Structure 1
Amino acid sequence: MFLFIKWLLSAMETTSAPNGCGYSISSIYYNLCDLTKVWGVVVEAVAAAGVVTSFVLFVILMASLPFVTDKKRKGMVALQAAILVFTLGLFGLTFAFIVGRYSTSCSARRFLFGVLFSGCLSCLVMHGLWLALLQRRGRGPRSWMLCLGALGLWLVEVIINTEWLILTVVRSPPGIVTVPDMSCSIANQDFVMSLIYVMVLLLAVVLMAVPSLTHKHKQWHRDGAFILVTGLLTLAIWVAWIVMYVYGNRVVGNPSWDDPTLAVAVVSNAWVFLFLYTIPEICFLTQEDPDQEEPHDGEHIYPARSLVYDTILKEPEPPHQNVYMENKAFSMDEPPTAPTKPVSPYGAYNGQVRSAVYQPTEIALIAKGLTKVSMDQDAMIPRATAPSLNLKSGSSLPLSSESLPS
């Protein structure tokens, strides 16, 4: 009889599954499929869309990296990629607040809530610091220094939550899934007090973004404005959920609204990070460096690397050659103009041997005149002898035929 009653109670329990959930689903997952409690299904759908959007934006960010021409923006890609990863984790954490409370879900809520938010806020703090230093000194820290700074700020919260997790889980090992343990028995005020460091980072985000609003360059001014708006909306969301989680739900008389309050806060804050920071930063990646001034004639300024290649590939201009014939009898009145295009060294080759080219020098003219005279005398005398030059008179002209010896 006892076994029959126990079987009947279990059968009644399985037949009382909410609308939209199957009989084989555990009761801790009813909020994911219960159509009578719309908040669970709606938040689940919004979180799933956020997971897909974060992954797509991460792929777009990595694919746009080779096309970034501004080195300053290229150094911020690492921080933006980290924010996308942490935002993806926030969308996944939303499911831990939708399902029922048990040891694993309670530990994930307590540990990942501060870790994921501190990761996003640490990157925003370092980006705001970079903008402030860029305005003051004209250049900001290197990207690896910003990554180390964000990593240091994030590790503080990781150490704090790891210490809490070790103390609670080790002291109270997880038992049956449906029985809450010590990790689920934490009070709402204690949960909020454990996030003080995250609140300090949130305040730092707002303060770091204020100086960049007076930046002389428009694009850095817009970056600071988006960071400031993201910090202010995050601050407003945190104030709203803390008031409802600690005080409002008790006054209304619905303590069961604690989990929906945290789930809505996490998913809405994650979408704020996407819409107000990540998407605008990805759109700004293709902008040019504002420090590079455009010329007045509208010509495009190429980077230094392209100038080097242009110098190498540019045809060398031929040296200006003044062609003068070193001849006392001849001189050129005007030097030829330099060619506008590179001239081939074989352009003047006509197939003749260089020694056969006629060179009108003075000695050649004299020899030509003597040869002509000798040919004329060959017909008159048996032999022709070389003429003797009058060296004393300094004349270089050939003698007449009458002075030739017989």
Structure 2
Amino acid sequence: MESNSTPRGCGPNVDSLYYNLCDLSAAWGIVLEALAAAGIIFSFVLFISLLASMPFIRSSRQRSSVPLHTGFLVCTAGLFCLTFAFIVGKNFATCASRRFLFGVLFGGCFACLLMQCVRLNILARRNSGPRAWGLCLGALGLWLVEVVINTEWLIITVVRHPVTLVTATGVADRATATPCNIANQDFVMALIYVMILILAVVVASLSIMGGKHTAWKKEGALVLVASLLSVCIWLAWIVMYVYGNERTGGPTWDDPTLAIALVSNAWVFIVVYTIPQICCLSSDDESQQDYEDPHLSDRVGYETILKEQKKNTHNMFVENKAFSMDEPSRGPKFVSPYSGYTGQQPPDQNHEMIIPRATVGSAVNSRGSTPPAHTHASGTGLQRTAQW
């Protein structure tokens, strides 16, 4: 009898709590199990890639978003892990984790996305974003609100409201309620704060498109697409979980509905938002001037100052040169008597080479003349005679 009750694909030693993980007749469990396991591995690889890309992030405005990306990846990996709690059977541990972690993990993801929208809105309008620690504190505060709500709700519904059970003899017995004893409508109502976060992300991502710095609108578009797809997923699973399952498959479809919602939304976060964001962190864009480092702008300003100084020096040189051209001439320029000599020997060796000599205020007779030469100094009254 025990061997006949074991599903096909599961071993005889497998506990009945884990039949959905190996039951070949329940294909949804095996498919979701494979997708969730792949998502966990992929999230870990992206987490390592994010940490490895930090040394290559040159802009401080891009580096400030790394803590938010890290928290977002951790919560997304938690969504993949929580999927197994909906695949396996129900007991106190799995039901408590379902009720508590469903809203907490989604609240962490959308809190990080909302703070990313705040950062991108400031960058799109001022081109200078807030500090990383401020963004982290904002996301932590938004996430802690959901933690407090789920903790209080879980305590109130489980501890303070026990369930009255009627035994076979007709005697009423009050037993402690389990986290599994909850209506579908109550489960959805406990997630109102997460729905508010989703709508806030959609509105905030739309406002990014109104900024004047277009370089940041690309990241805003990624957030907008991811949030809109999340809205569609949440509308689908809420309608099926509250209304559709009662009319079609009954309660047996409740766990697959929530598991599909977790896996699909987590993969949307990975494919639509996380992978493009990590690629944009270290990529060289055409709009890199909006991402330039402040030290780079200081260097550009220094080079501009040097160019201005060089231009002023050139203008001063031109003005000084023009001033020197206006000065009066100081007389004829002295010309050396050897300026016409090229250093080449004349072709005729018998021709006598005559070296010109400079004469200042006197008449010099040529070589070989015998008559004396008389030189008169004008204006002095003196007469000097020289014999050549």
| TM-score, with length taken from structure 2 | 0.69
Query: Shift of residue 112 of structure 1?
Result: 0.1
Q: Report 1:276-291 matches (<5 A).
A: 276-287=272-283, 290=287
Instruction: Please identify, of 222-231 and 139-148, the stretch whose mean Cα deviation from structure 2 is larger.
Output: 139-148
Aligned to 2:110: 121
Note the 1:105-116 alignment, pairs <5 A: 105-116=94-105
Contact 2:125 2:212 in 1 (8 A): no
| Counterpart for residue 39 of structure 2 | 50
Residue of structure 1 in register with 2:209 after alignment: 213
Residue 289 of structure 2 corresponds to residue 292 of structure 1? yes
Equivalent position SS for 2:289: coil
Q: How does 1:19-58 map to 2 (within 5 A)?
A: 19-58=8-47
Distance 2:109 2:41 in 1: 18
- Residue type of the alignment partner of 2:252: S
Which of 285, 293, 296 lines up with 1:303 in the alignment? 296
Are 2:189 and 1:190 equivalent residues in the alignment? Answer: no
Report the counterpart of residue 239 of structure 1 in structure 2.
235
> What residue number does 2:64 align with?
75
Q: Do 2:215 and 2:290's aligned partners in 1 also have CA atoms closer than 8 Å?
A: no
3-state DSSP of counterpart to 1:186? coil
Q: CA deviation at 1:213?
A: 1.9
SS of residue matched to 1:292:
helix
Per-residue displacement from partner, 1:133-190 (whole Å, max 9, x unpaired)?
A: 22233322111111100000000000111112333454589xxxxx995210100000
1:100-128 CA-to-partner distances (Å, cap 9, x unmatched) read 11111100000000000000000100111
Tell me how far apart the structure 1 counterparts of residues 24 and 233 of structure 2 sit (CA, whole Å). Answer: 27
1:369 match: none
**CA 213–147 in structure 1, closer or farther in 2 if over 3 Å, else same:** same
Distance 1:172 1:56, change over 3 A: farther
2:117 is matched by which residue type in structure 1? Answer: G
Instruction: Check conservation: 2:222, 2:273, Cα contact below 8 A.
Output: yes
SS in 2 for 1:69: coil
Structure 1, residues 63-109: CA drift from partner, whole Å, max 9, x if none?
10011011111100110011000000000000000011111110000
Farther-moved stretch of structure 1 (164-173 vs 279-288): 164-173
Tell me which amino acid in the other structure corresponds to 2:34: A
**Aligned-residue RMSD, C-alpha:** 2.7
The match for 1:155 is: 144
Counterpart for residue 402 of structure 1: none
Compared CA separation, residues 60 and 252, structure 1 to 2 (3 A) = same
3-state SS of 2:89 partner = coil
Contact 1:97/1:260 (<8 A) preserved: yes
Shift of 1:13: 3.0
Which residue identity is paired with 2:76?
T
Q: Contact conserved, 1:115 with 1:158, CA < 8 A, in 2?
A: yes
Give the 3 Å change call, closer, same or farther, for CA 242–50 of structure 1 in structure 2: same
Name the SS of the counterpart of 1:35 in structure 2: coil
**CA–CA distance in 1 between the matches of 2:271 and 2:80?**
14
**Alpha-carbon offset, residue 15 of structure 1:** 3.4
Residues 180 and 91 (structure 1), Cα distance of their counterparts in 2 relative to 1, 3 Å cut: farther
Q: Contact 1:118/1:157 (CA < 8 Å) preserved in 2? A: yes
Identity of paired residues, percent?
57
Matching residue of 2:261: 265
Residue 94 of structure 2 corresponds to residue 98 of structure 1: no
Q: How many residues align?
A: 288
Asked if the contact 1:69/1:287 (under 8 Å) is kept, the reply is no
Gaps spanning 5+ residues in structure 1: where? 1-11, 174-178, 295-300, 311-406
Moved more, 251-260 or 18-27: 251-260
1:69 maps to amino acid: R
Structure 2 partner of 1:64: 53
1:140 corresponds to 2:116: no
CA contact (8 A) 1:18 1:35 kept: yes
- The answer to whether the 8 Å contact 1:169/1:183 transfers is yes
Runs of 4+ in structure 1 deviating by more than 4 angstroms, as ranges, are 288-291, 304-307
Q: Deviations over 1:281-326 (max 9, x none)?
A: 10001135847379xxxxxx9737989xx9xxxxxxxxxxxxxxxx
Going from structure 1 to structure 2, the CA distance change for 1:183 and 1:293 (only over 3 Å counts) comes to: closer
Tell me, in whole angstroms, the C-alpha distance in 1 between the residues paired with 2:26 and 2:126: 55
Distance between the aligned counterparts of 1:74 and 1:211, measured in 2? 22
In structure 2, what residue type is equivalent to 1:61? L
The amino acid across from 2:200 in the alignment is A
Residues of 2 paired with 1:105 and 1:54: CA distance? Answer: 23
The aligned residue for residue 316 of structure 1 is none
Q: CA offset at residue 33 of structure 1? A: 0.2
